[in-house]
Amino acid sequence: MKILLADSGSTKTEWCLITSDAGPVTSYSAGLNPFYHTADTIAAEITKEVVPDIPAADRIYFYGAGCAGEEAIGRMTAALKKVYGEVQVGVDSDLLGAARAICGHEEGVACILGTGSNSCHYDGEKIIDQVPVLGFILGDEGSAGSFGRKILQGYFYREMPEELRGWLEEHYDMARPAILESVYKKPHFNTFVASFTRLFAEFSDHPYVIALLQEGISEFLERHVIKYHCGPDTPVGFVGSVAFHNQAVVRAALARKGLAAGSFLQTPMQGLREYHGRELNA
């Protein structure tokens, strides 16, 4: 039995083949969103980037951004079958992939804190509730995009300590016209803004950074997680770089609100391998 797993974001897709008699095989391709790409375009990318590493599979589970609705799921399914033939294919949202990776077959609240943010209440099989997401401009609380925006505001509004300002000026072009052009005139502005969270890794113990993180994580919990009205024994787990690299702050914020901490994963793939790995011995 060969099971091919895929976790697709806006810029990158991670592929992993798991089998009952060998170690995992990993490959990468561009982000594959059926909302923006045709089945032929998706199939061509998979054929070029993935097939050389993973030429065959018996089952495929694809989790990705834009994989919601009959038309988008049908387009992605058609692309996968065009490459791998009439294999069993399952296509679902990246949020369900995160929930399965974090919670497995147990109930929990699953949260994504990466470039953007998202969350859901998961019953061990499916998503049963989801606070709507509003994207970078109106929402994305607790995400790298949101924190990047706060970093830029702190810099230009003269609220940031001098040592942090100096580090930004050393590592980025902080001229106001250059920043505004990248934000308002170039594509992928959310990824650009999110890139400024490198500051957090360099100054993880700085009071200014800790305060920003505490404020942003608390806002995410207030506007999203507590709306699920789960009990104190329901674990709240996270996937994504923001939560993974700042677990102490997230755990403290959960404790202050009487919430239980669940798993913390940098990417969903490890959890998805465990979730679907059960099928290898079924």
Same domain membership, residue 145 and residue 201: yes
pLDDT, position 253: 97
Whether 244 shows a pLDDT value over 70: the answer reads yes
Last residue of a domain, one of 212, 229, 255: 212
Same domain membership, residue 274 and residue 204: no
Please indicate, yes or no, if residue 113 is contained in any of the structural domains. Answer: no
Whether 50 shows a pLDDT value over 70: the answer reads yes
pLDDT, position 282: 63
CATH number, domain containing residue 84: 3.30.420.40
pLDDT, position 102: 97
Please indicate, yes or no, if residue 218 is contained in any of the structural domains. Answer: no
User: For residue range 147-206, what is the model confidence (pLDDT) as tens digits?
Assistant: 999 999 999 999 999 999 999 999 999 999 999 999 999 888 888 999 999 999 999 999
Please indicate, yes or no, if residue 153 is contained in any of the structural domains. Answer: yes
Once rounded to an integer, what is the mean pLDDT over residues 71-91?
A: 95
Residue 137 pLDDT class (50, 70, 90 cuts): confident
CA-to-CA distance for 109 and 122, rounded, in angstroms?
6
Same domain membership, residue 71 and residue 147: no
Please indicate, yes or no, if residue 11 is contained in any of the structural domains. Answer: yes
Same domain membership, residue 70 and residue 142: no
Same domain membership, residue 204 and residue 150: yes
Same domain membership, residue 144 and residue 200: yes
Which stretch of 23-27, 78-82, 187-191, 268-272 has the lowest confidence by average pLDDT?
187-191
Residue 115 pLDDT class (50, 70, 90 cuts): confident
pLDDT, position 146: 94
Please indicate, yes or no, if residue 169 is contained in any of the structural domains. Answer: yes
pLDDT, position 136: 78
Same domain membership, residue 88 and residue 144: no
pTM given for the model: 0.88
Angle between helices 144-156 and 162-171 (to 10 degrees): 110
Which residue in the block uniquely carries the two structure tokens 């969903």?
268
Amino acid code (one letter) for 252 = A
Please indicate, yes or no, if residue 249 is contained in any of the structural domains. Answer: no
CATH number, domain containing residue 146: 1.10.720.160
Same domain membership, residue 168 and residue 80: no
Note down the domain range covering 200.
Answer: 137-212
Last residue of a domain, one of 195, 212, 229: 212
Please indicate, yes or no, if residue 132 is contained in any of the structural domains. Answer: no
Same domain membership, residue 93 and residue 149: no
pLDDT, position 18: 95
Which stretch of 63-67, 225-229, 249-253 has the lowest confidence by average pLDDT?
63-67
* Average pLDDT of the chain to the nearest whole number: 94
Number of domains into which the chain is organized: 2
Last residue of a domain, one of 165, 197, 212: 212
Whether 208 shows a pLDDT value over 70: the answer reads yes
Rg (CA), the chain: 20
Which stretch of 71-85, 111-125, 130-144 has the lowest confidence by average pLDDT?
130-144
Q: Strand order in 25-30's β-sheet?
A: 25-30, 12-19, 2-8, 59-64, 88-93
Q: In this structure, are residues 133 and 116 in contact, taking their beta carbons and an 8 Å threshold?
A: yes
Same domain membership, residue 196 and residue 142: yes
Residues ≥6 apart with Cβ < 8 Å to 199: 151, 164, 167, 168, 209
Please indicate, yes or no, if residue 198 is contained in any of the structural domains. Answer: yes
